């Protein structure tokens, strides 16, 4: 296995953190994640840019995914340079120094039972 699996540029067009939640936190907090898999033998230096409908992009948000590790990044936790507003449409572009794989997931617990969505993100070639 070479471990060089994935792409260096990814996009998630559907970003939205629901503004309310039902059920015990932190497990049932409404949230969105970008799950990053770095199967390669080198650390991945990752930069995320957040896009909005009505204002300039914000970023980059920077993080490292260690070699041969996965990081399930919760957008709710991003703080620097600014938190992601709740109940607001956004999107993002994710750029990495080495190929990674990205999957996007939302848990929406606004109603009594949670709902889930997930998709592999869009890999730019």
Q: Which residues bind a second copy (CB under 8 A)?
A: 1, 5-6, 9, 11-16, 23, 27-28, 33, 35-37, 39, 49, 51-54, 56-57, 68-72, 89-91, 93, 95, 100-124
Contact call for residues 48 and 33 (beta carbons, < 8 A): no
Pairwise CA distance, residues 62 & 82, whole Å: 12
Residue placing its CB nearer to a second copy in the complex, 61 or 90: 90
Q: 31 is written with which tokens? A: 């949230």
- Least Cβ distance, residue 87 to a second copy (angstroms): 8
- Least Cβ distance, residue 82 to a second copy (angstroms): 16
> Taking the chain, what is the end-to-end CA distance rounded to the nearest angstrom?
21
């Amino acid at each position: 296995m070479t471990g060089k699996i994935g792409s260096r540029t990814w996009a998630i067009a559907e970003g939205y953190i629901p503004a309310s939640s039902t059920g015990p936190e932190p497990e049932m907090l409404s949230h969105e994640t970008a799950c990053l898999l770095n199967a390669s033998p080198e650390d991945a230096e990752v930069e995320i840019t957040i896009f909005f409908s009505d204002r300039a992009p914000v970023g980059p948000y920077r993080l490292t995914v260690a070699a041969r590790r996965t990081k399930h990044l919760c957008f709710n936790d991003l703080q620097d340079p600014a938190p992601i507003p709740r109940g607001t449409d956004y999107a993002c572009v994710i750029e990495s120094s080495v190929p990674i794989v990205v999957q996007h997931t939302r848990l929406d617990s606004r109603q009594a039972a949670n709902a889930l969505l997930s998709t592999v993100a869009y890999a730019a070639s």
